[in-house]
Amino acid sequence: MAKLITGVRIRKDRAEALKEKAMELTVKRKDYIIEADLVNFLIDEFVNRLDVDEHGLLVKEEKE
């Protein structure tokens, strides 16, 4: 069985964007939100909608 990933590298500019968004949402919610919370939320919400076409990766529209 292949080893499962538990960590990923994030490009500096993306890490900064995640940090800024986490801080913004922490202030708005008045509860501590960390960058990992945002990453896990994005994975949970979008992983099943990922697809690929001749141009590369894309997110399929959500079915209603």
Q: Copy the structure tokens of residue 45.
A: 């919400």
pTM of the model as a whole: 0.82
Q: How does pLDDT run across 41-58, given as a tens digit for each residue?
A: 999 999 999 999 999 999
CA 17 to CA 21: how far, in whole Å? Answer: 6
Angle at 53 between CA 51 and CA 58, to 5 degrees: 45
Domain ranges of the chain: 12-59
pLDDT in tens, 34-44: 999 999 999 99
